[in-house]
Amino acid sequence: MAAYMNMDTLRFLLTQVHNISDLFQYSRFKDYDEETILTFLDAIKDFSDKELFPYFREMDEKPAYFKNNSIIAHPQLKKVMRQSGEMGVIGATFDAEYGGLQMPEIASQAVYFIMSSANNHCVGYPALTGGAADLILTFGSEKLKELYATKMLSGEWGGTMCLTEPQAGSSLSDLTTAATSTDEGFYQIKGQKIFISGGDHEYCDNFVHLLLARIDGAPAGTKGISLFVVPKKRITDTGELEDNDVLTAGDFQKLGQRGYCTTHLVFGESGNCHGWLVGEANQGLKYMFQMMNGARISVGRDAVSVSSAAYHASLQYANERPQGRRLSNDGSKNPNANPVLIKEHPDVRRMLLLQKAIYEGSLSLTLQTALYHDLSRVALAEEKEKYHLLLELLTPIAKTYPSEKGREAVDNGVQILGGYGYCSDFVLQQHLRDIRIMAIYEGTTGIQSLDLLGRKVMLKNGKALELLVAEIMQTIGKAQAHDELKPYSKQLGTTLQEAKGIIDFLVPFAMKGQYERFLSDATIFMEYMGTLIIAWQWLKIAIAAKEASLNNKDTYTSKFYESKIHTMRFFYKYELPRITGLAATIKHPEVLTLLDGEEKEW
């Protein structure tokens, strides 16, 4: 079978770079040790090899489609949902009292990384179901928990997040789906939701939509949004399932992720759609952010997964395709010699290294963010706040860098295959189509960038940023202990200073109330910060590799550790210096994108 990910790299990142074992001292995770987690991951790899990877191409070639008011999805989905439930994947991080495994988030991200690398069309179904169940368990009434959570955790019922409406995408404050109070403990829901992932298919017996709506008379804007549980089939007093007036009106046909259905749902067309309020009225967006933040990290992780699969596919091709001859020292080629494998050409090696640097660096960032999530949950007092702020700050970057740069990585994978990369006989074109959505859903890159610069950088008067700088400085300090790593540690320190200069340049615009000017290049700032953060991750990886090889840790071969350090050096030579150009763009005196006065001619 073709490789789609590297278990050694994943294990190394978990155990030696992010030291997952430090988490087991906390009572929440006391039943775990490294071996248990790694054994679980092996089982997931086996499941992915057998039940996910073999269906990856087929799900693209035979996409989900709409027929007779329902969605026809790939039949393998039934097994994926049920087995994800049985193995504990859906409820991996949930409390044991609710039937969860109480596993750290970092381990759950590793699980989904394996599954998604094998087949990114499948994982959204169990992952969104878990996210929806988590919202019910965190904010819902005892009755809602009792009625819905168990069936969702088992994979018998699917879960969704229903936010987007035709006129309200990025701007959720404009949503109009209405909720009218009744005397019977439920609300009447009326409205339409579009682009709802995993919203309907025949392999789950019911769907539990976590839906944002506006209660009649609620304030305008985001302050008037409430969260509801709206099942496709509601549960009667006698425990039967009855139709809840949720109509499936269509399935969007897409560029990629074609096995993952994207539905158009109409609620309450016959005036008979019941919804149950979750938590307090008008607090819906705040609650939904719990699911959205988790989903943002997961979208970033899915982008890493696609990049991983694309890297391994193009590496295999480069190892098999003979073409051309190497240049001798006098610049000539010997036409009588056999062609060499394309992997021997420096330009192909550059493209392979670029893919590896982006995908492994991004994977490390996903795990880093998940680790902060775990620590924000289990640490005490000040420490808890520290990790919470770090999580908040890194979330938009963990979503965006893998989605944007992952696309570039996959594009280089296509290039390695030459003409075959463009043809449907080979898988690379599918990876390129699949990864495109990651920069769009769960908040576009533009929206994530506004969040990073407009909110997160300023969070708690810049405290989150200060904490992040302290974390990076700690890594820089550690790298100083190794002569081989000193130049890179210095380079990262210089970049950090440059970043400070950018922020010092931008913040006065906000202080003067010039917010559009302040945020006009937020996406360029995001690219800058994303690259800086991945450089930090690579230095961490290199330190772990260096220390492991010095301590004669024979978990992996010396070649494995050398390859990590080599890839770090690649990132510092080819990627990190590029962002100095971005700094110049951000600080450039000309302002060319603001709508100032009359619209110009395009």
Ligand X SMILES: Cc1cc2nc3c(=O)[nH]c(=O)nc-3n(C[C@H](O)[C@H](O)[C@H](O)COP(=O)(O)OP(=O)(O)OC[C@H]3O[C@@H](n4cnc5c(N)ncnc54)[C@H](O)[C@@H]3O)c2cc1C
- Chain residues binding ligand X by CB under 6 A are 160-164, 169-170, 195-197, 254, 262, 437, 440-444, 446-447, 450
Burial of 424 (0-12, 13-18, 19+ CB in 10 A): exposed
Beta carbon of residue 174, minimum distance to ligand X (angstroms, whole number): 10
CB closer to ligand X, 264 vs 274: 264
What DSSP designation does 223 have?
Answer: G
CB closer to ligand X, 363 vs 439: 439
Beta carbon of residue 193, minimum distance to ligand X (angstroms, whole number): 6
CB closer to ligand X, 167 vs 580: 167
Question: How many other CB atoms are found less than 10 A from the CB of residue 551?
Answer: 8
Question: Residue 433: which residues within 8 A CB-CB, separation 6 or more?
Answer: 60, 255, 256
Beta carbon of residue 402, minimum distance to ligand X (angstroms, whole number): 17
State which residue has the least CB distance to ligand X.
169
Beta carbon of residue 195, minimum distance to ligand X (angstroms, whole number): 3
What DSSP designation does 218 have?
Answer: P
CB closer to ligand X, 197 vs 400: 197
Beta carbon of residue 400, minimum distance to ligand X (angstroms, whole number): 11
Tell me the pairing of strands 178-181 and 157-162: unpaired
Beta carbon of residue 362, minimum distance to ligand X (angstroms, whole number): 21
Is residue 137 a contact partner of residue 90, using CB atoms and an 8 Å limit?
no
Comparing CA positions, the residue from 460, 453, 539, 459 lying closest to residue 499 is 453
CB closer to ligand X, 72 vs 235: 72
CB closer to ligand X, 91 vs 443: 443
CB closer to ligand X, 232 vs 569: 232
SS (HEC) of 447-514: HHHHHHHHHHCCHHHHHHHHHHHHHHHHHHHHHCCCHHHHHHHHHHHHHHHHHHHHHHHHHHHHHCCC
CB closer to ligand X, 446 vs 493: 446
* Ranges of H-type helices in 319-380: 346-378
Beta carbon of residue 125, minimum distance to ligand X (angstroms, whole number): 11
| 3-class DSSP state of 79 | helix
Amino acid at 462: G
Question: How many other CB atoms are found less than 10 A from the CB of residue 461?
Answer: 8
Please tell me the distance from the alpha carbon of residue 336 to that of residue 560, in angstroms, as a whole number: 35
Beta carbon of residue 146, minimum distance to ligand X (angstroms, whole number): 25
Please tell me the distance from the alpha carbon of residue 306 to that of residue 61, in angstroms, as a whole number: 17
* Ranges of H-type helices in 146-198: 150-153
Kindly give the interhelix angle for 579-587 and 522-550, rounded to the nearest 10 degrees: 150
Beta carbon of residue 395, minimum distance to ligand X (angstroms, whole number): 15
Please tell me the distance from the alpha carbon of residue 463 to that of residue 443, in angstroms, as a whole number: 24
Is residue 177 a contact partner of residue 192, using CB atoms and an 8 Å limit?
yes
CB closer to ligand X, 84 vs 400: 400
CB closer to ligand X, 162 vs 357: 162
What DSSP designation does 341 have?
Answer: B
Beta carbon of residue 214, minimum distance to ligand X (angstroms, whole number): 15
